[in-house]
Amino acid sequence: MDILSVAGVSKTFPGGTVALQATDLAVQENDFITILGPSGCGKSTLLRMVAGLDTPTTGHIELDGRGVAGPGADRGMVFQSYTLFPWLTVRQNVCFGLREKGMPQAQQDEIAQRFIAQVGLKGFENHFPKQLSGGMQQRTALARALANNPRILLMDEPFGALDHQTRELMQELLLGIWEQERKTVLFVTHDIDEAIFMGNRVVVMSARPGRIKCDLPVPLPHPRH
């Protein structure tokens, strides 16, 4: 069954920019879909609408058969800019969503510990974001997204601000987690190497107006060397 369905979705911004046109996308459970395309082709707009941060002009988006209306804990988000809460420690950032839904502290800590270890940040639980490198901040953002046990991870150029070596490390980390946790991932990038390395499906978009050009399966695994 499709976990996510995007049907006939278009987006025209006030002022007339057509960011996205006639877009259909069916995401199956455990897919790792990379959305590849040049700057301005509507990748972020598509992801933001799935996230519930923006609304389609036409068409509709369903997650597990229910229409998406606004953001929800069923979608975990990681963006290029780290978006951690600067006044909270790594552990507190990771626990944020769990605390919001009233989970007991001991259980929050247990879940946080598991995901902090999984992203390789053991020993940094009490650090604040500004004490961490960019890669470590993105590891924290990833742990925070995973801790909420989302149905789908939405990632918008999450490694775009990192240096080459850190980026490759993060790609491998994320692939490992995807395999281990059996997560469903929608991952936006303009980097063709990244798209092919990460995805079991690559969705290629073109600009003016933004639309899906093709949707290709990519056999796994993708050894880098």
Residue list 42-81, contact with ligand ADP (CB under 6 A): 42-45
Does 13 bind ligand ADP (CB under 6 A)? Our answer is yes
Q: How far apart are alpha carbons 176 and 162 in whole angstroms?
A: 19
Closest CB to ligand ADP among 101 and 225?
101
Shortest Å distance, C-beta 5 to ligand ADP: 20
Tell me: does residue 107 bind ligand ADP (CB under 6 A).
yes
* Contact pattern from residue 131 through residue 170 relative to ligand ADP, giving x for each residue in contact according to CB under 6 A and a dash for the rest: ----------------x-x---------------------
Q: How far is the CB of 220 from ligand ADP (least distance, A)?
A: 25
Q: Please give the Cα distance from 157 to 189 (Å, whole number).
A: 5
Tell me how far the alpha carbon of residue 117 is from its chain's centroid.
20
Site for ligand ADP in 185-214 (CB under 6 A): 210
Burial 186-208 (b: 16+ CB within 10 A, else e): bbbbbbeebbebbbbbbbbbeee
Dihedral sign computed on CA atoms, order 70, 71, 72, 76: positive
Are 42 and 203 in contact by the 8 Å Cβ rule? The answer is no
- Which one of 19, 77, 95, 202 is in contact with ligand ADP (CB under 6 A)? 19
Least distance CB 44 / ligand ADP (angstroms): 3
- CA 211/CA 204 separation, integer angstroms: 9
Residues in the chain: 225
* Number of residues forming the site for ligand ADP (CB under 6 A): 19
Residue numbers of the site for ligand ADP (CB under 6 A)? 13, 15, 17, 19, 37, 39-45, 101, 103, 107, 111, 147, 149, 210
